[in-house]
Amino acid sequence: MIEVDGKQVPWSENWTMASLLETLDNVEFCAVARLNGRLVSSPKFAETIIPDNSKIQLLPLVAGG
């Protein structure tokens, strides 16, 4: 299991941030997420593997300075 924005989601092996987002609705604004506290940005979603028991927060639109 992993936790995505406070909700429990079953975990799959070799899941990446990109493949996780494909399964979720309404995430077109998600360019940045926190994976176990660390920031991951959209250019790295495809290469970022999600370990089991991860905690993920999808950050809202980046607003700049």
Residue 13 CB, nearest distance to other proteins (Å)? 25
From 54, 40, 47, 42, select the one nearest 11 (Cα to Cα).
Answer: 54
Q: Which two tokens stand for residue 6?
A: 């406070």
Residue 38 CB, nearest distance to other proteins (Å)? 7
CA distance 51 to 65: 32
Q: In terms of CB distance, is 1 or 63 closer to other proteins? A: 63
Neighbours of 56 (CB within 10 A): 20
Q: Which residues are near other proteins by CB under 8 A?
A: 5, 26-29, 31-32, 38-44, 57, 59-65
Residue 28 CB, nearest distance to other proteins (Å)? 7
